[in-house]
Structure formats: structure tokens, C-alpha cells
Amino acid sequence: MAEEGDVLTNLDNNASNGNGADTLPVAGLLSQYVKDLSVENPKAPESFQWTEQPQVDVQFNIGARKINEEVSEIELKVSVSAKTAQGTVYIVELAYCGLVGMRNMSDDQKHAFTYAEAPRILFPFARRVVADAVRDAGFAPLLLDPIDFNGLYMQQLAQKQAQESGAVEGPGGQA
């Protein structure tokens, strides 16, 4: 497996051809991995006999941790719980991570890559881990629908801007 510095050097070599192209923005996935996986099947084997369709609740969270000036760990957390009136069928909690390298990018570009593009890249792999975990717990694989991380990112930015503009005006709309 390549080390972080090796991959960034390769990214840099690909972007650098001696004509100033090495100052172009570069971002890429360096590695990905399961950081934490928990699968609970608390009512087995009784739950295998239940005929009621479970209510499935899926929650996502995106976190980021700066490793150094050019590398960040992006964590896509997925929590799934399936319940019926008889009890909890299964619970899957996954922290799927990727190390991303970002160079020559503005803070806005880094933020967008961290919270929109990197989760989009990681999601199909996290989706497979969740499907396999549910299947390995003895149930039909749970196939999560695709998620528009860029759309969610843009929506959250708009909400934040609206809140900030409301906070600037203060109560009653006066500045």
C-alpha cells in the first residue's frame, strides 16, 4: 500500500509539468477503510420468524478531521435500525472513512470537497458494507438509495446563509 506522501507526490507529479500547472488545485482519495462496524441482531433467532415488515430508520453524518496541511480524514457514519412491534430486528452502525489529499485549493473548495464530493465517492463502498452486514445478520441485504450529497451540501449552505442574515438583522428585522 502506498503511503500518504507517496500518493500526494504522485498527484503532484501528474499535475506538474514545469509550466506552472503544479499550482492547479488537486484533490483525490488516498485510501478508504472501515473504521468501526457494529452489527446487532438482538432478538435472533426469534426475529427470523417475524412476518411484519420492519420500519427501517437510516441516519447519516459526515465528519472531518485534519491529519496535516494536505490530508484529511473524512468519516461517513451510517446508522441503520430496523424495528417491528415485536422488537428490534437489527442495528447496523458503520463509520466508513477515507483519507483525502487536497492541495492548492481555497478554503471554500476544500470545504465543498470535504462535505459533498468525498462522501459521494465513499458512499457506494459504505452502502456495500451495510448491505453485506445486514445480509450476514441473516436478513435480506439493505440496499440504500443513492444520496445527492452535493444537493444536501448546497441546501445546508443556503440554510446557514439564511440564518446568518436573520441573525444580522436581529429581532423585528432591524439591523
pLDDT tens digits, one per residue of 43-86: 999 999 999 999 999 999 999 999 999 999 999 999 999 999 99
Residue 92 has pLDDT above 60, yes or no: yes
End-to-end CA distance of the chain: 56
- pLDDT band, very low/low/confident/very high, at 9 (cuts 50, 70, 90): very low
| Residue partners of 22: CB distance under 8 A and separation at least 6 | 12, 15, 16
The predicted structure's pLDDT at residue 102: 96
Mean per-residue pLDDT over the chain, rounded: 87
Average pLDDT over residues 124-138: 97
pLDDT at 2 over 80: no
Residue 171: pLDDT band by 50, 70, 90 thresholds? Answer: low
CB 73 within 8 A of CB 64: yes
Q: If DSSP states are collapsed to H, E and C, what string results for 30-52?
A: EEEEEEEEEEECCCCCHHHHCCC
What pLDDT is attached to residue 17?
53
Tell me whether the omega of the peptide bond preceding residue 45 falls within 30 degrees of 0, making it cis.
yes
Map out the domains of the chain with their CATH numbers: 26-164 (3.10.420.10)
In angstroms, the CA 37 to CA 172 distance is 48
